[in-house]
Amino acid sequence: PVIHREDYRPPDWLVPDVALDFALDPAATRVTARLSVTRSGAHNRPLRLDGDGLTPLAVRIDGEPQADAWRMDGAALMIDLPGDAHVIETEVEIAPEKNSQLMGLYASGGMLCTQCEPEGFRRITFFPDRPDVLSRYVVRMEADKARFPVLLSNGDRTDGGDLDDGRHWAEWRDPFFKPTYLFALVAADLVANRDSFATRSGKEVELAIWVKPEDLAKTEHAMAALKASMAWDEKAYGREYDLGEFNIVAVADFNFGAMENKSLNIFNSRYILADPDTATDVDYDNVAGVVAHEYFHNWSGNRVTCRDWFQLSLKEGFTVFRDQSFSADQGSAAVKRIEDVRALRASQFPEDAGPLAHPIRPESYMEISNFYTATVYNKGAEVIRMLHTILGADAFRKGSDLYFDRHDGQAATCEDFVTAMEDASGVDLARFRLWYSQAGTPRVTARLEHEPAGGQARLTLEQGVPPTPGQPSKQPMPIPLRVALYGEVTGQTFGGERLVMLEDAHQEILFEGIGERPVLSINRGFSAPVTVVADRSAADLAFLSAQDDDPFARYEAMQQLMVDTLVRAVALGEGDHRPVIEAVQETLRNAALDPAFIAEAVLLPSESFIGDQMPVVDPVAIHLAREALRRDLGQELEDEWRASYAKTHANRYEYTPPAKGLRRLKTVSLGYMAASGAPDASVIAFRQFRDADNMTDRQGALGTLVNSQWAERDEALKLFYDRYRGNDLVIDKWFTTQALSTRDDSVAAVEALAGHGDFTLANPNRVRALVGAFAVNQKGFNDLSGRGYRFLADMVLAVDKLNPQTAAKLIPPLGRWRRFDEARATLMRAELARVLATPGLSKDVFEQASKSLG
Ligand code: ARG
Ligand code: ZN
């Protein structure tokens, strides 16, 4: 059954108040729900209460037990009601410890916790499980006090006490109306890192991060990030926290990153726990980013929520934009932008170019869990960023104030957001709305011509949006392009930067007073999520990589130079490496640059990104061409790599932006020293691995060792395993590092690792660490034997039996078959067909596999 956006109908019945009573037990939890329901509008349709795997043990209407006033419609409970307001009570029993889907109420490492977004609440109790039904919740829960001393839910704890038989109870009330997906409950034996935050209006908020006792020392960074987020949202958006308590709980088994349940955020422990010995700088950054993301949802998501799941990007795109802006303010904004664009190109561009392409506001779905995608999240954030660019910071802020004001307490739509921006700014955004309805990455062609005589330059821009499933032809989109022209000789811009709005399929822009040959700098700061094809010579790209005053544009010029070189090398089997080597040398020698920026700028584009630029992906040729360029860069610039390694080596550990930048450059330099084939590289790598006083350096060295044939390689892997055995988050890194190995034996190694005693299908982090990581290993996964594809399909089928959501997320790499040669495409299709032919498939996997096969 396919659900269509166009079919939206407001709810027939509302549930202003709900009281839930949980008699908690991992094996059998009794849930009693009392719903006050009111008829909405004039109709005589029954009350429909969604359920998933629930059997009603009792149904009472206005206090009277009922045997036949209700019926089941599939998994839903239907009740015909005579009046316009009733109290409905239901009782069900659920088994959290048998819940391997990790949706609804489940057990993880001895604790009980919930995940309800998007449709997990219906696995807990019968309810209209849709985000436009908003209720006030009172939650009573009881549990064994010794096993579950901590009992948490949304809002404030209002009562509690001891019971007979060693049990205890607690009552929580959330004064804010919320949809089911924001409900949460935790019963556990945890300790808290406690702190407090004074809001700008002087309210004291009690903060707590709940973890296992042995993890308490790893919560400082998350706590600091939480307080920084609370202050930032007040300053940047005028948004203050609205309750007396804010709790975060870390759990080891979690389908996603984290969840913004009202005042009770539940996190995958990998986005909370961090200390220098076990977390890399990237992990630290991710912890802060996700803590901020979930906190920001309190306004963009909770106070203003989504009318239906087609509006998911309303909260996710906006909240990702907010967390990206927060992180940019904490350190180097330039490096943050480079990282975000790299992530977009790695995950969203392929989605937009493949069989699963969808607009940021999808038109239909079989299973909404499959739409928590890079498109809805990351392209969604780029769309909000474009609004910010087009309207300017002040008008954007007026628009967000109006949006929060107008829709506080409501379930809103993407349209409501754009309308608020329009009303506050006075800017007509009619055509901009195409970004919500059209899928596919626009392709912009730019050509710059100079007439020296008249001192004029003409910029010709053309755009096209490629066809995507269900959308064969597209309209031109409004594309904001930040543009500057640089004088080739003076190195100065002509009049600085300007914002060009490309609205039409074809547009020409005239620049006057251009006295020398201009070099085009375009899509600066990545102002639009598009692919720009501007035929610029290697010399022009080298010039921009050294001169452009927009750091992103500088990075981009270097990337383009590298991509051009590599694409040519793959096509012709050879290439001139000189321009890249000289540009990298210039960047490395530039003492005025931030080391963190240098480290990003000198990295070669990934094998998958190179493949995305080619008509047919040849993973072997791409690997060889890229390795050849890496080797030449390593050899030709050996002195520079050694110098930058030496400069960064003595740096004492601290988690600050400058120290992070030095560590990044250190490991990048190590990689090039290894690529050069220098005889002492193995010794240097092993020394870095062994002597590191932090995980960034240790894992950085291990990442170099693991690709090598050196004797030290296996020893390092063993030392790493022995040192961290039992620490799940670090053992995940051990799996991932090997899954990403570029050695010829990586397929065999990954198959063997799936049989390792520490591998389990039950923990999503572990599945992603091995299987998810291997699927992005271009060389290993695309091995011509087809073993990589077969392994992935085997894993999809095995995981689907336990956890359909996690299984479905593994499928997209197989859907890229159209991009490959006939032999590989045939193998990939065969695996998708095998998955589809398997009986008992979840609808999550069915939707992804059938769309991927096409
Ligand atoms: N709203 C959460 C976040 O982005 C993600 C929850 C997704 N859950 C899921 N089962 N797909 O912060
Ligand atoms: Zn989110």
Q: DSSP letter string over 142-180?
A: EEETTT--EEEESSEEEEEEE-STTEEEEEEEEEEEE-G
The predicted model gives 56-79 an average pLDDT of 97
What pLDDT digit, counting tens, does each position of 176-188 carry?
999 999 999 999 9
How far lies 372's CA from each of 6, 26, 27, 87, 310, in Å? 20, 29, 31, 35, 11
What pLDDT digit, counting tens, does each position of 98-154 carry?
999 999 999 999 999 999 999 999 999 999 999 999 999 999 999 999 999 999 999
| Binding site membership of 457 for ligand 1 (Cβ less than 6 Å) | no
Distance 174 CA to ligand 2 centre (A): 21
What pLDDT digit, counting tens, does each position of 637-646 carry?
999 999 999 9
What is the position in ligand 1's atom list of the atom closest to the CA of 316?
4
- Which helix (H) or strand (E) segment is 181 a member of? none
Give the residue among 580, 510, 567 at the shortest CA–CA distance from 533.
567
The whole-number pLDDT of residue 19 equals 99
The predicted model gives 320-329 an average pLDDT of 99
| Binding site membership of 340 for ligand 1 (Cβ less than 6 Å) | no
Distance 118 CA to ligand 1 centre (A): 7
Rounded to whole angstroms, how far apart are CA atoms 767 and 770?
A: 6
Rounded to whole angstroms, how far apart are CA atoms 809 and 804?
A: 9
**3-state SS record for 527-549:** CCCCEEEECCCHHHHHHHHHHCC
Q: How confident is the model at residue 257 (pLDDT cuts 50, 70, 90)?
A: very high
Phi/psi region, residue 263 (left: phi>0; alpha: psi -120 to 50; beta: rest), is: left
User: How do 443-451 and 531-534 pair as beta strands?
Assistant: parallel
| Binding site membership of 260 for ligand 1 (Cβ less than 6 Å) | yes
Rounded to whole angstroms, how far apart are CA atoms 671 and 706?
A: 11
Distance 258 CA to ligand 2 centre (A): 8
Rounded to whole angstroms, how far apart are CA atoms 673 and 680?
A: 9
The whole-number pLDDT of residue 811 equals 98
Rounded to whole angstroms, how far apart are CA atoms 178 and 20?
A: 14
Identify the bridge partners of residue 178 per DSSP, sorted by sequence position: 135
What is the position in ligand 1's atom list of the atom closest to the CA of 372?
11
| Binding site membership of 325 for ligand 1 (Cβ less than 6 Å) | no
Q: C-alpha angle 424/427/432, rounded to 5°?
A: 110
Structure tokens at 769: 């660490």
| Protein residue whose Cα sits closest to atom 10 of ligand 1 | 117
The predicted model gives 753-782 an average pLDDT of 98
The predicted model gives 224-241 an average pLDDT of 99
| Binding site membership of 724 for ligand 1 (Cβ less than 6 Å) | no
Distance 320 CA to ligand 2 centre (A): 7
Structure tokens at 775: 């699927």
Give the residue among 584, 581, 580, 546 at the shortest CA–CA distance from 565.
580
Ligand 1 test: best mutation among 372, 373, 375, 844, most atoms within 8 Å of CB?
372
The whole-number pLDDT of residue 266 equals 99
The DSSP output letter for 131 is T
Q: What percent of the chain has pLDDT over 90?
A: 98
Contact between 779 and 623 under an 8 Å Cβ cutoff? The reply is: yes
Mean pLDDT, the chain, integer: 98
| Binding site membership of 316 for ligand 1 (Cβ less than 6 Å) | yes
For the question of residue 636 being annotated catalytic, the response is: no
144 contact partners, CB below 8 Å, separation of at least 6: 24, 25, 166, 167
Give the residue among 395, 352, 386, 421 at the shortest CA–CA distance from 501.
386
Q: What percent of the chain has pLDDT over 70?
A: 100
641 contact partners, CB below 8 Å, separation of at least 6: 634, 669, 672, 673, 676
The whole-number pLDDT of residue 407 equals 99
**Distance of alpha carbon 229 from the chain centroid:** 18
| Binding site membership of 716 for ligand 1 (Cβ less than 6 Å) | no
Contact between 107 and 52 under an 8 Å Cβ cutoff? The reply is: no
Residue whose entry in the numeric block shows the structure tokens 């999503």: 764
What pLDDT digit, counting tens, does each position of 411-463 carry?
999 999 999 999 999 999 999 999 999 999 999 999 999 999 999 999 999 99
Distance 373 CA to ligand 2 centre (A): 11
The torsion angle over the Cα atoms of residues 686, 688, 691 and 695, rounded to 10 degrees, is -110
Contact between 72 and 120 under an 8 Å Cβ cutoff? The reply is: no
Residue 68 has pLDDT above 80, yes or no: yes
Rounded to whole angstroms, how far apart are CA atoms 497 and 55?
A: 64
Residue 649 has pLDDT above 80, yes or no: no
What is the position in ligand 1's atom list of the atom closest to the CA of 120?
10
Residue 650 has pLDDT above 80, yes or no: no
What pLDDT digit, counting tens, does each position of 806-818 carry?
999 999 999 999 9
| Binding site membership of 308 for ligand 1 (Cβ less than 6 Å) | no
Reported ipTM: the value is 0.97
The DSSP output letter for 498 is E
Contact between 424 and 407 under an 8 Å Cβ cutoff? The reply is: no
Identify the bridge partners of residue 22 per DSSP, sorted by sequence position: 31, 141
The predicted model gives 79-102 an average pLDDT of 98
The predicted model gives 313-338 an average pLDDT of 98
Structure tokens at 274: 């961090």
Pairs from 488-491 (Cβ < 8 Å, separation ≥ 24): 488/516, 488/517, 488/518, 488/519, 488/540, 488/543, 489/516, 489/517, 490/516, 491/547
Pairs from 323-326 (Cβ < 8 Å, separation ≥ 24): 323/289, 323/290, 323/292, 323/293, 323/296, 324/289, 324/381, 324/385, 325/236, 326/228, 326/229, 326/232, 326/236, 326/289, 326/292, 326/296
Distance 339 CA to ligand 1 centre (A): 22
Residue 165 has pLDDT above 80, yes or no: yes
What pLDDT digit, counting tens, does each position of 604-646 carry?
999 999 999 999 999 999 999 999 999 999 999 999 999 999 9
618 contact partners, CB below 8 Å, separation of at least 6: 570, 611, 821
Distance 6 CA to ligand 1 centre (A): 24
Q: Give the SS3 label for residue 226.
A: helix
Contact between 781 and 788 under an 8 Å Cβ cutoff? The reply is: yes
Rounded to whole angstroms, how far apart are CA atoms 744 and 788?
A: 12
The whole-number pLDDT of residue 573 equals 81
The whole-number pLDDT of residue 535 equals 86
The whole-number pLDDT of residue 652 equals 83
Q: How confident is the model at residue 693 (pLDDT cuts 50, 70, 90)?
A: very high
Residue 651 has pLDDT above 80, yes or no: no
Ligand 1 test: best mutation among 183, 248, 256, most atoms within 8 Å of CB?
256
User: How do 245-251 and 204-211 pair as beta strands?
Assistant: parallel
The predicted model gives 387-394 an average pLDDT of 98
| Binding site membership of 259 for ligand 1 (Cβ less than 6 Å) | yes
What pLDDT digit, counting tens, does each position of 511-546 carry?
999 999 999 999 999 999 999 999 899 999 999 999
The whole-number pLDDT of residue 794 equals 98
What pLDDT digit, counting tens, does each position of 292-314 carry?
999 999 999 999 999 999 999 99
User: How do 111-115 and 70-73 pair as beta strands?
Assistant: unpaired
Contact between 774 and 753 under an 8 Å Cβ cutoff? The reply is: no
Active-site residue among 294, 640, 712, 831?
Answer: 294
Give the residue among 767, 826, 818, 817 at the shortest CA–CA distance from 792.
767
Residue 834 has pLDDT above 90, yes or no: yes
Contact between 670 and 701 under an 8 Å Cβ cutoff? The reply is: yes
Residue 824 has pLDDT above 90, yes or no: yes
| Protein residue whose Cα sits closest to atom 1 of ligand 1 | 259
Alpha helix ranges (H) inside 9-84: none
